[in-house]
C-alpha cells in the first residue's frame, strides 16, 4: 500500500487503492475485472463472467451455514471520471491520486471513484476473511452502471442463485435504502448552418466556473447552479444588448453530474461590444447573488475568444438555441407527497457540446413515478421540437419499489440496532440504483442497499469518510452472519 497505508480495515483500503491505480471509467472495466479475477484465483474461488463482462466470484458458505439460502453482494466496477477545471487527467490512462485529508480520503483534482470502488474493495476483503459465519456469497460486479446500467440490463436470471441481494452503492452509513427512482435520457440534437464571420465583429468568450457540481440525483435538491442553465441566462442578457452569433458552446462533463462549468465563443459587432460585456457582467452579478447561499464559488467572465474557432451560426439560430436552453427544465420538478424531504421527479441538463453543425444537449430525468418520468421526457421533446431540434431517448431504467416487510430488511435493522443501539433509517433515494432492474429480472429476490459515508460523488470534490468504512465493514460481516 501507499498513501492509504495504516487505514483500517487494511485489506479494504489495500484493494481500494489498487482500484484507484487502474483506469475504470464506464466502458473501461477490463482492468478492474482482471484484478478481481486474479484475486479470486489466488483464493481458489470460482469465477464466472457473462457476455457483457459482469463478474461473479463465489465464496462457499462457512461451516454450519451450508444450508442457508445464498446471498448476493453487488457493486459496479465503473466510476464517473470528472476532472476539476484546469486539471489535466486522462481517465483512460492516468491513475487516480488519492490522499488522506483530515477525516476523509479524496482525490487530487478528480473524482475519487469511491462510488462504487469502496463497495468492490469491501467485497474483495470479505472474500479474504476466513473466520466469520456466512452463507454462500456470490460477489457480483457489474459493468457500465454510470453510463447506462448496461450490466444490469444484460443480466440473465440464471446468472445468480442467491435469493437475497445486498447492493453496496449508497452513500450514508446508518441508513438502509429500499427504493430508488427510475431514470431516462433525452438526447437533443439542434442543427444549424454556419456563415462567414463579419469583419466588423469581435470574437469573445463567455465562461462560467467555480460551481460545486455534484450528483444529479443525490444533490439535485441542494439548489446548486447548473452551468448549462446559467450560461444561457448570460447569453440571453447579452443578446438584449447586441446581436450576437454563437460559434461554439459547451458545458458539463457527464449527463449524471450537475454541470460545474460552461463556455461559449460568440461574435459581437464592434459597435455593441461594450454594451454586450456590460450586460453579461450585470447578469453575472445577479446570478452571484442568487447563488450566494447554495453555490457561492460561482464565477463568470467575458474575454477574448481563442483563435481557431469555427465560423459562427446564423443570428436567428443563435437566438433559438439560447431560448431552447432557457426553456429546458432543470432541477427538482416535484417532491414526494408520501416521503417527507424526498425528491420525486427531477431533470438535469447534464452536457452541452457543439459538434460540427449541431449542438448536442443531454438531459437525465429521474422519477419514482413512471408516468411522471414519461411526462418529463415528453415535455423535453415538445420544447426541443418547437426549436427545430430532434430528440433521441436511449433505454432508461425502472424504479425500485419498496418492500418494507422483507426478512432481509428486518434482519438488517435488528443487526444494526444490536451493534449501535438504535435502528438505522429506512429510506428511498432519488438517484438510480441497479436494484430497479434487478427487481424486474430476479423475481422474488429480497434487496436492500447500504454503504459508508461519502459526499459530492460525481464531482472533483468527492470524498469518503474514513471512520465510516470499518463501521460499514463490521456491520456487513455481522449481517451476513445472521442470514441463516
Residues annotated as catalytic are 78, 145
Question: Residue 260's Cα: distance from chain center in Å?
Answer: 13
CA dihedral 327, 331, 333, 337 (to 10 degrees): -170
**Grid coordinates in use for 31?**
482492468
* Helix axis angle, 468-482 to 10-20, nearest 10°: 110
Question: How far is it between the farthest Cα atoms of the chain?
Answer: 85
Of 430, 345, 347, give the one whose Cα is nearest residue 381. 347
Q: Give CA separation, 206 vs 194, 195, 313, 444, in Å.
A: 20, 21, 16, 54
Edge-to-edge strand order for the sheet containing 104-107?
Answer: 98-101, 104-107, 463-465, 454-455
DSSP assignment of 9-22 equals: SHHHHHHHHHHHTS
CA dihedral 309, 314, 317, 322 (to 10 degrees): 50
Of 347, 194, 135, 168, give the one whose Cα is nearest residue 259. 347
Question: Residue 91's Cα: distance from chain center in Å?
Answer: 16
What are the beta bridge partners of residue 190?
A: 359
Helix (H) or strand (E) run with residue 234 in it:
helix 227-241
**Grid coordinates in use for 397?**
431504467
Is 401 within 8 Å of 447 (Cβ atoms)?
no
What are the beta bridge partners of residue 101?
A: 104
Is 367 within 8 Å of 376 (Cβ atoms)?
yes
Pairwise CA distance, residues 377 & 367, whole Å = 11
Sign of torsion over alpha carbons 274, 279, 282, 288: negative
Q: Is 53 left (phi over 0), alpha (psi -120 to 50) or beta?
A: left
Pairwise CA distance, residues 43 & 40, whole Å = 5
The three state secondary structure string of 101-126 is ECCEEEECCECCCHHHHHHHHHHHHH
Is 46 within 8 Å of 57 (Cβ atoms)?
yes
Amino acid at each position: 500500500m501507499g498513501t492509504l497505508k495504516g487505514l483500517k480495515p487494511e485489506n479494504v483500503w489495500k484493494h481500494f487503492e489498487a482500484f484507484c491505480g487502474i483506469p475504470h471509467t464506464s466502458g473501461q472495466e477490463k482492468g478492474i475485472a482482471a484484478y478481481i479475477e486474479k484475486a479470486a484465483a489466488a483464493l481458489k474461488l470460482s469465477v464466472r463472467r457473462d457476455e457483457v463482462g459482469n463478474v461473479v466470484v463465489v465464496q462457499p458458505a462457512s461451516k454450519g451455514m451450508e444450508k442457508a439460502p445464498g446471498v448476493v453482494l453487488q457493486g459496479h466496477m465503473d466510476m464517473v471520471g470528472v476532472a476539476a477545471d484546469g486539471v489535466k487527467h486522462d481517465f483512460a490512462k492516468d491513475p487516480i491520486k488519492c490522499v488522506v485529508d483530515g477525516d476523509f480520503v479524496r482525490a487530487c483534482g478528480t473524482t475519487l471513484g469511491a462510488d462504487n470502488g469502496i463497495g468492490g474493495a469491501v467485497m474483495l476483503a470479505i472474500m479474504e476473511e476466513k473466520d466469520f459465519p456466512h452463507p454462500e456469497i456470490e460477489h457480483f460486479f457489474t459493468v457500465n452502471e454510470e453510463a447506462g446500467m448496461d450490466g444490469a440490463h444484460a443480466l440473465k436470471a440464471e446468472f445468480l442463485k442467491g435469493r437475497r441481494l445486498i447492493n453496496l452503492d449508497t452513500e450514508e452509513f446508518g441508513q438502509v435504502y429500499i427504493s430508488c427512482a427510475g431514470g431516462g435520457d433525452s438526447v437533443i440534437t439542434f442543427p444549424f448552418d454556419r456563415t462567414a464571420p463579419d469583419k466588423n465583429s469581435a470574437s469573445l468568450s463567455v465562461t462560467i466556473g467555480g460551481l460545486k457540481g455534484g450528483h444529479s440525483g443525490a444533490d439535485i435538491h441542494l439548489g446548486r447552479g447548473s452551468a448549462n442553465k446559467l450560461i444561457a441566462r448570460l447569453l440571453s442578457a447579452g443578446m438584449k444588448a447586441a446581436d450576437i452569433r454563437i460559434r461554439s458552446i459547451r458545458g458539463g462533463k457527464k449527463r449524471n453530474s450537475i454541470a460545474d462549468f460552461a463556455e461559449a465563443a460568440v461574435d459581437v459587432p464592434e459597435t455593441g461590444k461594450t454594451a454586450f460585456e456590460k450586460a453579461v457582467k450585470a447578469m453575472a452579478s445577479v446570478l452571484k447573488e442568487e447563488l450566494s447561499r447554495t453555490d457561492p464559488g460561482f464565477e463568470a467572465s467575458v474575454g477574448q475568444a481563442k483563435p481557431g474557432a469555427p465560423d459562427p451560426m446564423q443570428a436567428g439560430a443563435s437566438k433559438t438555441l439560447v431560448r431552447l436552453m432557457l426553456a429546458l427544465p432543470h432541477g427538482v420538478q416535484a417532491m414526494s407527497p408520501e416521503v417527507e424531504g424526498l425528491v420525486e421527479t427531477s431533470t438535469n441538463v447534464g452536457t452541452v457540446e457543439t459538434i460540427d453543425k449541431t449542438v448536442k444537449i443531454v438531459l437525465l430525468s429521474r422519477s419514482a413515478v413512471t408516468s411522471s418520468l414519461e411526462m418529463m421526457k415528453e415535455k423535453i421533446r415538445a420544447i426541443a421540437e418547437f426549436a427545430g431540434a430532434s430528440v433521441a431517448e436511449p433505454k432508461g431504467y425502472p424504479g425500485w419499489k419498496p418492500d418494507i416487510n422483507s426478512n432481509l430488511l428486518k434482519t438488517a435493522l435488528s443487526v444494526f440496532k444490536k451493534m449501535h443501539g438504535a435502528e438505522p433509517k429506512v429510506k428511498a433515494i432519488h438517484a438510480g440504483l441497479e436494484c430497479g432492474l434487478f427487481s424486474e429480472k430476479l423475481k422474488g429476490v429480497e434487496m436492500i442497499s447500504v454503504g459508508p459515508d461519502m459526499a459530492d460523488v460525481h464531482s472533483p470534490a468527492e470524498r469518503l469518510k474514513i471512520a465510516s468504512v470499518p463501521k460499514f465493514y463490521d456491520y456487513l460481516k455481522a449481517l451476513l452472519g445472521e442470514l441463516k
